[in-house]
Amino acid sequence: MARAKTPERIASGVYRVNAVGLPNTISVLLLESEDGWTLVDTGMASSVGRIRDAITALGSGPEDLKRIFLTHQHDDHVGGLRGLLEWAPEAEIGASKHEAEVVSGRREMDQFSHPIPRFLARNARAPGIPVGRVLHEGDLVSGFRTIFTPGHTLGHTSLLRDTDGFLFTGDAFGALVRRIRVGGAKFVCTDPPLAKHSARKLLKEDFGTVVMTHGRPLFTEARERLEEAIVRADYE
């Protein structure tokens, strides 16, 4: 199977990697820092080779992957964690307190609010990997400010670079099924009303470019597109 080509540079020091073969289905980010790279989310277990190849294509190796930041606990975000740590064992893992407890196995995974995805995920297990850095609201990750956006999961976190208004929503917004929706979709949120509250919270920030885990990046009319998603969301 063909692996990822050179990752897409979408802003200064920010590269987007397609974590699976179908473009814009699952995106992870590589953030350039003075000491190396920060990876935002790890995709699925099958994504390890694609992410590793992307880092190599940028002229770097495992010693240059300094940090892995996890927006939340779902398998399409943490599935590649174990494999990447086998390749880059010195990378520091970071997440919010709630997500860190889940990823490390000290807390049960959050449940979906809808019975169908809850049933389908009944056998899901957290990686059971310790998280070395617990992030608090406003902490910086390679120049990006953490914004707690719970609802999709209870510790979900988004990232904003205030210097240029680059927003990574994770799954606070997403186009899982065609249109952009709050929390990716109502049925995959742990707490849909809380997800809508967090979406409104993000709209109070100053941003221009928006990248979501699921869906195409928004380089124009990003605010308008997210506002439309909030209006459509019947999550009360």
pLDDT score of 36 more than 90: yes
- β-bridge pairing 166-170 and 173-177: unpaired
- For the structural domain made of 8-232, what CATH number should be given? 3.60.15.10
Return the SS3 of 132.
Answer: coil
pLDDT score of 3 more than 60: no
Instruction: Give the span between the Cα atoms of 158 and 42, in whole angstroms.
Output: 15
What pLDDT does residue 5 have?
Answer: 62
Look up residue 78 and give its two tokens.
């943490």
Q: 91-107, pLDDT tens digit by residue? A: 999 999 999 999 999 99
Non-local (6+) Cβ contacts of 35 within 8 A are: 66
pTM of the model: 0.95
Percent of the chain scored above 90 by pLDDT? 92
Which amino acid belongs to residue 88? A
What pLDDT does residue 235 have?
Answer: 87
The full set of domain ranges for the chain reads 8-232
